[in-house]
Amino acid sequence: MDAKLSPEQGLNISGIALASLLTVGLATTAFFLDSMANRLPWQSMSLTLPLLLCALGSGVVGYWVIPLLQALKTGQIIREDGPQAHLKKAGTPTMGGIFFIPVGVIIACILSNFAKEVLAVSALTLSYGLIGWLDDWQILRRKSNKGISPGTKLALQVGFAAVFCLWLMFNQPSNITNIALPWVSFTLPLGFLFWPLAGFVLVAESNATNLTDGIDGLAAGTVAIALLALGALVAPTAPGLMVFCAALSGGCLGFLAHNRNPARVFMGDTGSLALGGALASVALLTNTLVALFILSGIFFVETLSVMAQVSYYKATKGPDGKGKRLFKMAPLHHHLELTGWSELQVVGVFYVIAAILAAICLA
Rounded to a whole number of angstroms, the CA Rg of the chain reads 20
Q: What is the mean pLDDT of residues 256-268?
A: 94
Domain ranges of the chain: 15-288
Residue 238 near residue 284 (C-beta atoms within 8 A): no
Lowest average pLDDT, out of 8-17, 295-304, 342-351, goes to: 8-17
Is 2 marked as a binding-site residue? no
Which residues sit opposite 75 in a β-bridge? 93
Q: What is the mean pLDDT of residues 8-36?
A: 87
Lowest average pLDDT, out of 71-75, 137-141, 173-177, 214-218, goes to: 71-75
pLDDT of residue 360: 94
Specify the higher pLDDT residue, 190 or 87: 190
pLDDT category, 39, cuts 50, 70, 90?
very high
**Phi, then psi, of 179 in degrees rounded to 5:** -85, 120
- pTM of the entire structure? 0.92
Is the pLDDT at 5 greater than 50? The verdict is no
Is 12 marked as a binding-site residue? no
pLDDT of residue 87: 60
DSSP string, 35-67: HHTT--TTSSSSSHHHHHHHHHHHHHHHHHHHH
Q: What is the mean pLDDT of residues 240-268?
A: 96
Is the pLDDT at 4 greater than 50? The verdict is no
How distant is the alpha carbon of residue 256 from its chain centre? 12
Specify the higher pLDDT residue, 214 or 120: 120
Is the pLDDT at 77 greater than 80? The verdict is no
Give the whole-angstrom CA distance, residue 175 versus residue 83. Answer: 48
pLDDT category, 181, cuts 50, 70, 90?
confident
Lowest average pLDDT, out of 81-85, 106-110, 351-355, goes to: 81-85
Give the whole-angstrom CA distance, residue 93 versus residue 266. Answer: 6
pLDDT category, 147, cuts 50, 70, 90?
confident
Q: What is the mean pLDDT of residues 295-310?
A: 96
Specify the higher pLDDT residue, 33 or 72: 33
pLDDT category, 116, cuts 50, 70, 90?
very high
Lowest average pLDDT, out of 17-21, 102-106, 123-127, 145-149, goes to: 145-149
Residue pLDDT, tens place only, 151-169 = 999 999 999 999 999 999 9
pLDDT of residue 9: 43
Q: What is the mean pLDDT of residues 321-336?
A: 90
* Beta-carbon contacts of residue 15 (< 8 Å; ≥ 6 apart): 216, 217, 260, 261, 262, 344
Between the CA of residue 180 and those of 122, 143, 188, 283, what are the distances in Å?
24, 46, 6, 11
